[in-house]
């Protein structure tokens, strides 16, 4: 009977050791392998007024291959913090058609007394935002 008890205890101990050993290994493997990060998707504001990035530059370069990110950013500053907001506030870019923006910017540039290059920057900024507008 003693040898049966000893054998039982030995097998039980071996079984417990092997179970706890595999659990530790599994945890170590799980914790050492990093989980893939979810892609960061930043929502664009409903009014279309935000600082342009590479997506907007790529979109507008199809129409104006000389456009630069610095130019788009200048247009953003003039539109969102400069001449436009000084008089009436920045208007929702998405609410007007691409075709109407040419007339609006031509008219407002004279009133705001901005240079031709500043007007061009605002125009390209607005069209770049419109080009990446969610459908």
Task: Write the pLDDT tens digit of every residue in 8-67.
Answer: 545 455 545 555 544 444 444 444 555 555 555 567 878 788 999 999 999 999 999 999
Largest CA distance in the chain: 106
pLDDT computed for residue 130 by the predictor: 92
Domain boundaries, the chain: 54-131
> Tens of pLDDT along 79-107?
888 877 777 777 888 899 989 999 999 99
Dihedral sign computed on CA atoms, order 71, 75, 78, 80: negative
Q: What is the C-alpha separation between 44 and 134, in angstroms, rounded? A: 9
Both tokens assigned to 94? 């998405």
DSSP 38-81: PPP-PPPPTT--S---HHHHHHHHTT-TT--HHHHHHHHHHHHH
């Amino acid at each position: 009977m003693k040898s049966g008890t000893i054998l039982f205890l030995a097998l039980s101990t071996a079984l417990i050791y092997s179970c706890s050993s595999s659990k530790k290994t599994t945890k170590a493997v799980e914790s050492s392998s990093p989980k893939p990060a979810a892609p960061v998707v930043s929502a664009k504001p409903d009014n279309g007024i935000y600082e342009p990035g590479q997506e907007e530059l790529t979109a507008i370069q199809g129409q104006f291959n000389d456009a630069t990110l610095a130019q788009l950013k200048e247009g953003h500053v003039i539109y969102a913090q400069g001449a436009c907001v000084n008089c009436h506030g920045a208007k929702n870019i998405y609410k007007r058609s691409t075709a109407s923006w040419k007339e609006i910017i031509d008219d407002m540039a004279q009133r705001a007394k901005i240079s031709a290059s500043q007007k061009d920057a605002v125009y390209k900024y607005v069209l770049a935002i419109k080009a990446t507008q969610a459908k």
